[in-house]
Structure 1
Amino acid sequence: MFSSVFTSTLLVLASVLTQVSTQSIDINSVAEATRQSWCSSQKAACPLICLQLPGATGDPVDNTCDADTLAYSCICSNNVSPNASEYSQTMAYYICTEANTECVNKCSTSACAAACRSDHPCGAQDPKRVNVTTTTSAVATTSTATSTAIKTNEATGAATRFALEMGHIYGTFVLITGFIAGFAILL
């Protein structure tokens, strides 16, 4: 009895909270097809987000979205409603980006437009890394050796990225030089 009352209370609270967050944009300014797409993304994201919560499965107890009102609900199997604003491709993300777009449209200066987006970032700002596997190429026997190996791998990664970027530039240079040389021979 208590469990069903608690679950019902959570469902109502989640619905009320999501409706409050949707009041920050002009729903009518968003095309119906776009709102439908947002709902599809929200409903697809819910099970994936639930998988990241302790004690939850990818089978939410409530996963709904109304494209007419932009009200949505995502309640995981552990009866927790995740904070959708911490994720991209959710209704909270789309509402945030639309609110930022509406803000930019009202601006008359570039500083105002930049502030619209920088003052109200959307989606994951500092995402929690779940199920991350880290590997290193060297086996370390002490914490100092491990720290050195990690720093070496970070430096090697930066060097590799730099080498790849330089390879692209060098390759482009060689290609252009080859074309120039070919045209010079033809003349």
Structure 2
Amino acid sequence: MLSQLFLVIASGLTLVNSQSAISIDPSSVPLSTREAWCSSQTSSCPLLCLQVPGASGSPSSNKCTAETLVYSCICNNNVSPNASEYSQTIPYYVCTEKNNQCVKACQGNSGCQSDCRTDNPCGAQAPKRVNTTTSTTMAATSTATTEALNTMAGGATGAAPRLITVDMGQVYGLCVLVGGFIAGFAVLL
């Protein structure tokens, strides 16, 4: 009896977890568009699960219903990633469409249109930096490269880099000259 109660509660939580908070009337969007949104959602789910600690890219549930825009993305560790922080997901598309409908309702009032998008931002507002090692390494590499270029250009480390300029007229002239020689040899053969 207790195990059945647990199963009912777990099923209910899964259902709640899989429901998207729809803030538009799905029928206000063409079915073909909603089908494309669902396709993107189910394609994104495995990638989202890779961002969840302890989960693999094989979700235990990955569904989307185009008619209602209800989706489910549950990773193999029973955690649902926050799909609203990513693009190419149902929450992102619904948010964007809600903003588009708001802008349309403003009937050309630019202040109202701006407020539609400013008051309801879509996607991640403060994304987590998952791979900070790469960005630190890239910054160090960039600094080392800049210092090497400064040294090669005759500048001191930390000094503004000297730009090596090329007169494009001279380059163009050289190309015309070489092209003329090649054309001349081609005619002789």
TM range (shorter): 0.5 to 0.7
Q: Relative to 1, partners in 2 of residues 1:28 and 1:6: Cα closer, same or farther, differing over 3 Å? A: closer
Runs of 5+ consecutive residues of structure 2 not aligned to the other structure: 151-160, 173-189
Using structure 2 for the length normalisation, give the TM-score: 0.67
Same amino acid, percent of matched pairs: 53
Matched, 1:67 2:66: yes
Query: Which is richer in helix?
Result: 1
Q: Residue 7 of structure 1 contacts residue 79 of structure 1 at CA under 8 Å; is this kept in 2?
A: no
Distance 2:82 2:9 in 1: 19
Residue 12 of structure 1 aligns with an amino acid whose one-letter code is L
Show the counterpart of 2:182: none
Show the counterpart of 2:12: 9
Distance 2:141 2:94 in 1: 43
> Displacement of 1:131 after TM fit?
3.1
> Displacement of 1:3 after TM fit?
7.6
String of CA shifts for 1:55-75, please: whole Å, max 9, x gaps.
111111110000000000101
Aligned Cα RMSD in Å?
Answer: 3.2
Structure 1 runs of 4+ aligned residues shifted over 2 Å read: 1-10
String of CA shifts for 1:38-93, please: whole Å, max 9, x gaps.
00100011110100111111111110000000000101111011111111110000
Q: Which has the larger radius of gyration?
A: 2
Matched, 1:87 2:90: no
Number of residues of Structure 1 aligned to a counterpart in Structure 2: 148
Runs of 5+ consecutive residues of structure 1 not aligned to the other structure: 139-148, 157-162, 179-187
Distance 1:125 1:31 in 2: 28
Residue 11 of structure 1 aligns with an amino acid whose one-letter code is T
Using structure 1 for the length normalisation, give the TM-score: 0.68
Show the counterpart of 1:123: 123
> Displacement of 1:5 after TM fit?
5.3
